[in-house]
Amino acid sequence: MANLNIDSVKARTFDTIVIGSGISGGWAAKELTGHGLKTLVLERGRDVKHIKDYPTTNKFPWEFEHHGQLPAVVTEANPIASRCYAFGEDSAHFFVKDNEHPYVQEKPFDWIRGYQVGGKSLLWARQTQRWSDFDFEGPARDGFAVDWPIRYKDIAPWYSYVEKFAGIAGNKDGIPELPDGEFLPGYPLNDVEEYFAAHLKTNYKNRHVISARCAHLSKPNQIHLDQGRGQCQNRDLCQRGCPFGGYFSSNASTIPWAERSGNMTLRPFSVVESIIYDEKLNKATGVRIVDTNTKETIEYFARIIFVNAAAINTNLVLLNSKSNRFPNGLGNDSGVLGKYIAFHNYSAHIGAEYDGLKEWTVDGRSPTGGYIPRFRNVYKQETDFLRGYACGFSAYRFQQHKYEGVGSSLKEGLVKGDLSPWYVGSHMMGETIPKESNHVSLDPKLKDNWGVPLLKISVDYDDNDEKMKKDYIEQLTEMFTSAGFKNIQPSTNHQAPGLDIHEMGGARMGNDPKTSILNKWNQVHACKNVFVTDGACMTSTSCQNPSLTYMAITARAADYAVSEMKKGNLG
């Protein structure tokens, strides 16, 4: 019997364990297996194989029972998930339903999740911008959060590394606050977007409209063909899963790459209950999971553990990993674990019309639009709020079909139709300031179906967010007016935090173990063989889309972890 136990433990022992298979978990799996390490990837949801498990990807609109719309019974049962723009009849199977993994909202928070292999990499908006030193130096310069332990020069080569593999379409724009990258050809702006870009260049200093950089294969390189991916077809049906691999996802790219190494073991249906800490060895030795189907508890062991469960769930795993050494959660000597959660403020928009360029219209689809990089408080503090915001920008027009009449007149109205005016629109993506009061914690009584404590979320806006939102409306109104746009309609809403799907923090990086959880290599200060490289590690949020930074940070940390393992520094 003893030998059987030894054999069982051996079969459950790996060089590394990766918790989560989304954007950062996929990269951890790719990098660690590429270095020859036997790696167990744990995913709490089901398996999703590229192409095979995209059931709606090639459906025509009339093939959907409800023509793409979700019936009221579904939206009523899912008030949180249904607020997400991508939650529809063609993609609902990739979303966590509201009753599948409940949580406690001490303040309103829309937690959007995708529990399957690939996670939310099947659903993300695929926008990818680098950070600059204006972002990494922000906390030190502006006096919020704690100082980042890294700067742009530390991460720049890793941005290049992941961009080349993932495939990022964009242009060399030469904007210091938004560094250029390793780009495939960028997607063109349409004529009204180009007009607005030229107007800003002529009339404003340091304000730009550029083609938004996106993780799409506008023109694949050999490395993308080697992954089995093909050129983006501009279908704009990305939330269904792309059968061409035209956009970057774990399912189309990093997970199959790791699988081909022969070093990856993928285990879906595995809720990670906690990380196991050995107080005699002063290190983590493995993880404890609950099988989602059988409810069986199983332990797996490894020398290195990467935690990539997505920001909020990573906080949950760390908080629930308690021991005599860490009674308040793994590595939580500072007491800041679960605190200083931040997000992006998307709660302001503005629309207008443009009477010019009527000889042109749009044709076809594009996976991206225009992007206005942050222009407030970049080179100096110039407002009564900290930090700033980026903006989306797009222009479009459409045929206005007529529905009057009968017979031939009705047909003619439906077929022809006059072109609408040009419509322009923008949305805000504001940086929020990490605050101790914005936190997550474990409910002391309530547990989920797998015996894990429910998470309590207490995250809200503040006065800085309101001032920033007001400034966005003022500045965009002025810019639209000066460009000759008419019927300008600003709007604000009170969408709950979380619907931005850019939650970050809780296990932040920092130089001082007294005020942070992770060091500059994403190691837990007090438990060196545990690394956190998803959104939980972020010290601040900047206003760029964060996924590219997660990828780069993960590749960098994995390279360091392998080096330290070879030196014998990680056990």
> Token pair of 395, please?
């222009």
Which residues, in sequence order, are CB contacts of 553 under 8 Å at separation 6+? 24, 155, 158, 522, 533, 537
DSSP 149: S
pLDDT of residue 494: 84
Between 4 and 171, residue with greater pLDDT: 171
Q: Is the pLDDT of residue 404 over 90?
A: no
Rounded (5°) CA angle 464-468-471: 145
For residue 278, give the amino acid letter.
D
* Cβ contacts of 222 within 8 Å, gap of 6 or more: none
pLDDT per position as a tens digit, 97-133: 999 999 999 999 999 999 999 999 999 999 999 999 9
- For the chain, give every domain's residue range: 188-212+344-431+461-496
% helix, strand, coil for the chain, step of 5: 25, 25, 50
pLDDT beyond 90 at 540:
yes
Residue with tokens 């044709």: 363
Residue 569 has pLDDT above 80, yes or no: yes
Closest Cα partner for 352 from 398, 401, 421, 428?
Answer: 421
Could you tell me the pTM of the whole model?
A: 0.96
Q: Answer whether residue 5 shows pLDDT above 70.
A: no
302, amino acid identity = A
H helices present in 416-523, as ranges: 463-482
CB 184 within 8 A of CB 367: no
CA-to-CA distance for 345 and 8, rounded, in angstroms? 49
CA distances from 107 to 231, 496, 497, 540 (A): 43, 9, 9, 21
- What are the pLDDT digits (tens) for 317-362? 999 999 999 999 999 999 999 999 999 999 999 999 999 999 999 9
Contact 392, 212 (CB under 8 A): yes
pLDDT above 60 for 468: yes
Taking the C-alpha atoms of residue 544 and residue 552, their distance in angstroms, rounded to an integer, is 14
What is each CA distance from 538 to 17, 89, 377, in whole angstroms?
21, 33, 21
Taking residues 156-182, report their average pLDDT: 98
What Å distances lie between residue 520 and 28, 72, 395, 458, 513, CA to CA? Answer: 17, 48, 41, 27, 11
Q: What is the mean pLDDT of the chain?
A: 96
Read off the pLDDT band of 544 (50, 70, 90): very high
**318 and 329 Cβ atoms separated by less than 8 Å:** yes
H/E run at residue 224: helix 222-226
